[in-house]
Each structure stands twice: as structure tokens, then as C-alpha cells.
A and B are shown apart, each in its own frame.
Chain A
């Protein structure tokens, strides 16, 4: 097994809720991330899925050090990043870069593309000396599939997909080892999404990057990820390889989530068994006791209200072999097949006529 390049242990981020103006009193906290453990292996893509408000974006921000964790450790090659400051921190941050969701708001409209992509070099001049920067930026544009002549254009002159390529180029500028991508394709049109997903995959093999890929679209996450973590209310509830999670989910939340995804196959609507959850995700300021999913779970029993289930291989599967044996934070974990096989298989893509 390749070594873990990033180890996250007991990561917590609580935002205080205060009352009063002069004498602020803390009356509670929003538990955005509430104890996350995960490893990112060198060269792999770790997908994180979950619904809005589950804490996946807060997790991403802590990984790139845009937010300071309330507790817990993020170890990059064995060194706890949360304890670093000054020059040592700056060196680590160079190696962990981020690609943002919204290509419309994450690029400064008054800067040219060249300045946007080259800005990281202002902070880390050791990567590219001043004279070579323009050339570096043009190389990066070429790498992400844009015309290097575009350096002097402004973001509004580009389409959404092209802007996301600019955001990716900026993420690559410092030659990082890890890229944290927070919903990088969800603002894009379907036909453009595929282009950007393919680009991300190509860059990964060209530059041997490790990705943390955060998204709510379960099909895209399966496509791009080697391992997948499912988040609910600030915690990872199930974690495993893509086939373990998608074809052999053992946590009820994962099962409900997967069964709710509309599949592009009209035949599936007849024979498909769906788990429709009732209600909404509880507020992260008032997390249920015990298992946090129990308020929406059809299996919940007394034990679920009392005892917090840990993320580990459930006892029933501990002595078994096979894909159901993976981490799942449920007292009553059992395997359930919820993703229907598409019938018939999709038509093959059209081939281009050779240009005459």
C-alpha cells in the first residue's frame, strides 16, 4: 500500500454561537466538522460526498489551512500542519492547493488571467524567478488546454468551463503534491463537465498529484475516486474503495443517498427499490445524541440514541472476507444493494469521420 501523504486525526471545527453585543456570551456552537479521521494516500483520489451542510467544504478549507481547526491534527508527511506557523507553514501550504467551486466568483474580475495564475509566484518567488514567470504562466495555460495567447484577457471573456481551467491552472502553479477540489465541476454544464473531469484525471497522472475531490454528485465521485468517504453532519459515516461503497454499502445513510440518485435509465424506475428519507438534515448546532443519523434512520433503536457508533469495520463483517468488510459507523450495519445496473448498456460514442 502506498504511504499516506496526509493523515487527518480527530479533526473538529466548531463555530461559536454568541449572544449579546458588548458582553458576548457563548450559547452554543455550530459543529460543522465534528471528528473526522482519514488518510490520503500518495497518488490516489479520495472522494468526499455528502449533502449541503454536512461539513465537506469546511473540511476542505481546513485541509488547505484556510480555516484553523478547533481540535485535531492534520499531518502532512508526518508533520502536524495545525501546529506550524511562519516559514514552515508557508512551505507546507505550497504543496496543498485548492480548486474552488464557483469559477465566477473565485477569479478576481479586475486581474488578467496571467496575473491570476502568476499571483502564487508573488508569495512563493522561489518556484519561479521573476523573468520566467510569464513563460511559466503560458505553459500552465497550455497544460490546462487554453490558448497561451490568452494571458492578457480578463475572466469575463471566458466561459464557465474555461474559467474553471484557469482556476485549475492557478492551483497547479506552485507544483503542489495535493489538490483539494471543492465541487470543481458542479457549476458547469453537462457537456463541459466531462471535459474538466478528464482534464483533472490527465493532470493527476502527468504530475502524480493526490486529490481530495469533494462533490455532491455521486456519479462523478465514483468516476474519479479510488476511495470514497460519505459525510453526514460533520462526520464520515462510511469509508471504503469505490466498489465497496457503491456496490456494497452497509451504512443506512449511504444506502438512502445512493438510492435517491436519479439514474439515466427509464427502465430502472419500475424495478428499482428506493429508500426515501423523511425530513431534513438536523441543524449542526443541535446534533442528535448517539448516532447522528438516527432521527432519519428507519433502523434506529434505543442503542442508537445512547451510543455513538465509531467508524470501523462493523462487528458482523469483521470475520468475513469481501467488499462488505469496510469502515461503516453503524450499530446495525448490513449490506444492501441499491444501485441498479443500467439496462441496456449505454450506446457507444460516435467516432469522428477522418478529416478530408
Chain B
């Protein structure tokens, strides 16, 4: 197992109270596998990823429980210095907004080369050669001429390629991509996702893809973890979840997106709003919005029930959700 997150809990202390952003998350990724973490804003998908990367702002954030096992080692017990050696070299992250993640006053080549200077001890000149190689690899045209350009001189899609190049620089074992194509147009999104999937196959990396887009997930993921209010509500292989979701929330999400292949009827809308993380409803967090909710749901937090060998669902009535 490449990465195994166990019962992770993260909270944020704010002036108004404690926001429980992550409440016992379990997921795992193997080498060469793509795990999609699906959720709406505030579901805790990005916070979990930041905790794995070790880039959570602490304070106000605080990891209050759980383990993050990376290649068998619990990252939460390591010193910051040891974690820094892992970050970049063994795991890397791609962010949504490339323009604000890149340094605007350094050329792209300098930023890519810095990875090799710091982690591999290369000279500036060798590092620059490496930077050009990387830009070639992510198919930035005329890499040699563009290595001295600054981030603002690239288009959105090209900038996201620079981000991918930077993440791949040291050939990590795990890549976490947080909404990597959300800011891009569909035709460019397709180019970038194809590139990412191809490089992942080539380097046999584990990929965690954080997204809210059910279409992107269906295109690239091997398995899915659906998050709601800081918890995983459903874990399943990608083919099964689209055919027969085992949680009312997943089911609601699938029903609420319009179809491209037909006009369709009125959309199904999940009623209500996602909960405030400072005041998560007791019992199942989804119960105020759930069509199946009963008394039990308002008092007992559902555990992850085993649906089949490879699937789990955090719904007391998952059988009804599955077979309805």
C-alpha cells in the first residue's frame, strides 16, 4: 500500500468556534492507481489532502487524531525536517490555480530548476537543462525558448502543465491533484487530464484526484471516495458507483447533474444546504437532506458498512439506497 489514511481528524479553531473539517477519514491508494476524492466545497476533501502533504496551516488547523501511513511509515510522527525531504521528492501536489501557485517574479525555468538544486544538489546550469527536459515532457511547445518566460506569459493550460512538470520533477511516488482542471476550458481540460493520466501510467505513480466533477471522475478514476461534511460516505470502484450508488448523497449527486445526451426532465435537486462545519447535525450529517432519513439517522452516526468486498457505505439504509 502506497498511502493509507486512517481515521484522520482535523479541526480548525476560529473565533466563532471549532470547525470540524475532517471527522475520521479512511482512504488508501496503491502505486499506479487513481483515487478520486469527490465532494462539494467544505466537505473536507482539500483539507485531508493538505494534511497528507503536510502543508496544513497549523494553527488554526489541528490534526486531532488518526494516522497517515505512507509506504508504511506514519507521517504524523515524523519531524518537520524529515517530512520536508519526502515532500516534493516522494509526494507532490498540483493545485487548482496555477497563476497564484507559481511565483510571479521568477521565470518558470528558475522555479522548475530550483527543485533539482535543492533536492538533488545540481548546479544552476544543469538544473536549467533539466527544466527544459521537463517542459518538453509535459509538451510545452518550444520549451527551450520559453524556459526563461514568466508565469503570466503562459496561457492557463500551459501554466497548468508547468505545475504538472514541477510536481513530476523528482519522479514522486504519489501525486495529489487538487481540482487540477477546474479553472480550465473543456478542450484544454481534456488535454491536461490526458497528459496527467499518461505520465501517471508511465511512472507508475499513485494519483489522488480531488474534484467535484462527476464527469472527470468517470473518465480517469479507478476508485472513488465520496466525502460529505468531513467524512467518507461511500467508497467504491468507479464502475460500480455510477451503476448503483449505495449512499443517498451519491445518488442525489448523480441525479442532479444534467445529461449531455438528452434534454431530460426537471432535475432532481438535493434539498437544503451542506451543513455548517461548526454545527454538524447529530447522527448522520446528511440526515436533514436525505429522502430516506428516519429516527435512527438523527441519533446514530452510521459506520462504514461493508456493501461488498471492495465497497463501503456510511448509510444505515444502504440496501434501500442500492436497490431502490
Chain A residues packing against B (C-beta within 8 Å)? 51-52, 159, 161-162, 189-195, 197-198, 201, 216, 218-220, 222-224, 242-243, 246-247, 256-258, 260-269, 274, 276-278, 280-281, 339-342, 344, 346-353
Are A340 and B261 within 8 A (Cβ)? yes
CB < 8 Å: which of B187, B260, B273, B274 contacts A339?
B260
- Which one of B23-31, B95-103, B106-114, B241-249 is at the interface? B241-249
Given contact pairs A189-B41, A190-B212, A347-B254, A219 touches B260 in the complex (Cβ within 8 A): yes
Provide the bound-state CA to CA distance between A257 and B267, in Å.
23
Cα A161 to Cα B254 in complex, Å, equals: 19
B256 touches A193 (CB 8 A): yes
Please tell me if the beta carbons of A349 and B268 are within 8 angstroms of each other in the complex.
yes
- Extra inter-chain contacts (12) besides given A193-B256, A193-B257, A266-B218, CB under 8 Å: A51-B188, A189-B40, A191-B40, A195-B269, A195-B271, A216-B185, A256-B187, A263-B215, A263-B261, A266-B221, A348-B324, A350-B252
Q: B143 within 8 Å of A by Cβ?
A: no
* A223–B189 touching, CB < 8 Å: no
Query: Using a CB-CB cutoff of 8 Å, which residues 254-304 of chain B contact chain A?
Result: 254-261, 263-264, 266-271, 273-274, 291-292, 294
Contact of A260 among B189, B256, B261, B324 (CB under 8 A): B189
Cα A245 to Cα B256 with chains together (Å): 23
Is A269 in contact with B268, judged by CB distance below 8 angstroms?
Answer: no
**Contact yes or no, B266 A222, CB < 8 A:** no
Could you list 23 examples of A-B contacts with CB < 8 Å?
A52-B156, A161-B273, A190-B256, A191-B252, A194-B257, A195-B269, A218-B186, A219-B257, A222-B260, A246-B260, A256-B187, A260-B187, A260-B189, A260-B190, A261-B215, A261-B260, A263-B260, A264-B257, A266-B221, A269-B220, A346-B254, A350-B248, A351-B324
List of 4 A-B pairs having minimum Cβ-Cβ separation, nearest first? A262-B215, A223-B258, A194-B256, A51-B185
Point out the residue from B158, B190, B245, B259 that lies within 8 Å of A219, measured CB to CB.
B259
Tell me, yes or no, whether B93 is within 8 Å of chain A by CB: no
Q: Report the separation of the CA atoms of residues A258 and B259 in the bound assembly, to the nearest whole angstrom.
A: 12
Contacts of A269 in B (CB 8 A): 218-220
Chain B min CB distance to A29 (Å): 20
Mark contacts of B33-61 with chain A using CB atoms, 8 A cut-off: 1 yes-contact digit, 0 otherwise.
00000001100000000000000000000
Contact of B157 with A by CB under 8 A? yes
Give the distance in Å from the alpha carbon of A313 to the alpha carbon of B212 in the complex.
38
For B254, B264, B267, the residue with the greatest tally of chain A CB atoms inside 10 Å of its CB is B267
B167 within 8 A of A: no
Query: If A190-B256, A263-B215 touch, does A351 touch B291 (CB 8 Å cutoff)?
Result: yes
Nearest-Cβ distance from residue B83 to partner chain A, whole angstroms: 32
Nearest-CB residue, chain A, relative to B276: A159
B187 adjacent to A51 (CB under 8 Å): yes
Contact B189 A189 (CB under 8 A): no
Contact partner of A223 among B187, B191, B215, B267, CB < 8 A? B267
> In the complex, what distance in Å separates the CA atom of A280 from the CA atom of B157?
8
Bound complex: CA A278 to CA B292 (Å): 47
From A52, A220, A260, A280, contact of B258 by CB (8 A): A220
Taking the closest CB of chain A, its distance from the CB of B103, in whole angstroms, is: 22
Known pairs A194-B267, A195-B269, A262-B219; A274 contacts B190 (CB<8 A): yes
Residue B194 interfacial (CB < 8 Å): yes
Q: Is the CB of B257 within 8 A of A190?
A: yes
Q: Give the chain A neighbours of B291 by CB distance below 8 A.
A: 349-353
Are B269 and A347 within 8 A (Cβ)? no
B118 to chain A, nearest CB (A): 31
Determine the residue in chain B with the shortest Cβ distance to A195: B269
Residue among B189, B213, B257, B268 having the largest count of chain A Cβ atoms under 10 Å: B257
Bound together, the chains give a CA A342 to CA B255 distance in angstroms of: 13
Docked Cα-Cα span, A216 to B158, in Å, equals 20
Q: Whose C-beta in chain A lies nearest to the C-beta of B244?
A: A347
- A219 surroundings in chain B (CB, below 8 A): 257-260
Which residues of chain A come closer than 8 Å to B218, judged between CB atoms?
A: 262-266, 268-269
B18 at interface, CB cutoff 8 A: no
Q: Which residue on B lies nearest to A242, using beta carbons?
A: B263
B267 touches A198 (CB 8 A): yes
Q: In the bound complex, how far is the Cα of B241 from the Cα of A347, in angstroms? A: 11
A266-B239, A269-B218 known; A222+B263 contact, CB < 8 A: yes
Interface residues as binary, B226-255 with A (CB distance below 8 Å gives 1, 0 otherwise): 000000000000110011110010011111
Contact with A along B145-158 (1 / 0, CB 8 A): 00000000001111
Question: Is B216 positioned at the interface, with any CB of A under 8 Å from its CB?
Answer: yes
Instruction: Report the minimum CB–CB distance from B245 to chain A (whole Å).
Output: 7
Residues of A within 8 A of B253 (CB): 190-191
> CA of A218 to CA of B217 in the docked complex: distance in angstroms?
17
A264 to B271, CA, bound (A): 22
B269–A262 CB distance below 8 A:
no
Which residues of B have CB within 8 Å of A340?
261
Nearest Cβ on chain A to B182's Cβ, whole angstroms: 10
Q: How many angstroms from the CA of A3 to the CA of B35 in the assembled complex?
A: 52
Q: Please give, as numbers and ranges, the residues of chain A lying within 8 Å of B263 by CB-CB distance.
A: 222-223, 242-243
- Taking CB atoms, residues of chain A closer than 8 Å to B271 are 195
B8 at the interface (CB under 8 A from A): no
What are the interface flags for B180-201 relative to A under an 8 Å C-beta threshold, 1 for contact and 0 otherwise?
0000011111110110000000
State in angstroms the CA–CA spacing of A350 and B210 once bound together: 26
Let me know if B166 is at the binding interface, CB within 8 A: no
Question: A190 vs B157: C-alpha distance in the bound complex, in angstroms?
Answer: 24
**By the criterion CB–CB under 8 Å, are A264 and B185 in contact?**
no
Say if the beta carbon of B10 comes within 8 Å of chain A: no
Bound-complex Cα distance A222 to B259 (A): 8
